[in-house]
């Protein structure tokens, strides 16, 4: 055992992709169709999907909120790990993306679990009053508002529930003083990572899968 991590080269990444992935033909076709429709190819990776399914099963999640539906890839991936009486509410600001996601959710036969809302996330949260607290919250939306989402959503998450946010590595630039891509987003993500890891209501870790997931279990 070593404290120094093993670098994930192309050979190891291919092994990971072949053996530990949540992606099937339906999801691969979804990605291709979304790309054809002009929807950005920025969904979670298949390895992230499998990891999230593992987390959802481990906490017996039934009530999930997602901010940032995009094409529906992550919502469908999560729904496949849930019982039939579970519920995912997923919020998407872009009308075109929301319409596409609704179509794919129906094709997947998951419309009883997944509810796609076409709305600005902050506007939705200001008026939303959930009947039950969430078990799992996944944020993959506009990076400058990550900290605000955490503040809004912490009261809506049960103790023992998990708050997770994608792109914790900031496209690979989180440790860079001069990022070559999206400097404002990188700054926002770096600030959010620091804010979240010091939050008194969470025990937080960062998982180096995909572009990094920062996640915390609510402890009080």
How far apart CA 53 and CA 22 sit, in angstroms, is: 8
Bridge-based pairing of strands 63-67 and 87-92 is parallel
Distance in Å from the first CA to the final CA of the chain: 34
The answer to whether 121 touches 67, Cβ cutoff 8 Å, is yes
Helix (H/G/I), strand (E/B), else coil: 14: helix
CA angle 79–26–109, rounded 5-degree value: 45
Q: Average pLDDT of 195-213? A: 95
pLDDT in tens, 29-44: 999 999 999 999 999 9
Question: Is the model's pLDDT at 26 over the cut of 90?
Answer: yes
| Range 180-192 average pLDDT | 90
Of the two residues 127 and 5, the one the predictor is more confident about is 127
Q: CA-to-CA distance for 102 and 111, rounded, in angstroms? A: 8
Percent of the chain scoring above 70 in pLDDT? 99
Ordered domains of the chain (ranges, CATH): 10-218 (3.40.50.150)
For range 42-52, the mean pLDDT = 93
Packing angle, helices 10-19 and 46-58, rounded to 10: 50
205 bridge partner residues:
215
Which span out of 9-23, 87-101, 161-175 was modeled with the highest average pLDDT? Answer: 87-101
- pLDDT-derived band at 157, boundaries 50, 70, 90: very high
Residues 6+ apart with CB under 8 A from 138: 52, 64, 65, 66, 67, 74, 78, 164, 165, 166
| 121-157 b/e (C-beta count within 10 Å ≥ 16 → b) | bbebbeebeeeeebbbbbbbbbbebbbebbebbbebb
Helix axes 146-153, 183-197, angle to 10 degrees: 30
């Amino acid at each position: 055992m070593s404290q120094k991590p093993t670098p994930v080269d192309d050979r190891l990444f291919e092994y990971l992709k072949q053996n530990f992935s949540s992606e099937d033909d339906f999801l691969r076709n979804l990605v291709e169709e979304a790309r054809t429709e002009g929807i950005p190819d920025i969904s979670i990776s298949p390895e992230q999907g499998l990891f999230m399914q593992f987390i959802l099963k481990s906490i017996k999640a039934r009530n999930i909120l997602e901010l940032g539906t995009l094409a529906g890839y992550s919502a469908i991936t999560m729904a496949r790990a849930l019982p039939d009486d579970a519920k995912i509410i997923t919020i998407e600001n872009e009308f075109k993306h929301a319409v596409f996601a609704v179509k794919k959710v129906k094709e997947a036969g998951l419309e009883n679990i997944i509810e796609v809302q076409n709305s600005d996330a902050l506007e939705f949260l200001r008026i939303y009053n959930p009947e039950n607290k969430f078990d799992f919250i996944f944020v993959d939306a506009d990076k400058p508002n990550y900290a605000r989402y955490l503040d809004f959503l912490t009261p809506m998450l049960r103790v023992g529930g998990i708050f997770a946010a994608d792109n914790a590595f900031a496209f690979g630039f989180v440790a860079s003083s001069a990022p070559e891509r999206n400097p404002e987003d990188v700054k926002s993500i770096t600030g959010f990572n620091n804010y979240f890891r010091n939050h008194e209501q969470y025990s937080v870790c960062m998982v180096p899968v995909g572009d990094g997931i920062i996640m915390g279990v609510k402890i009080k």
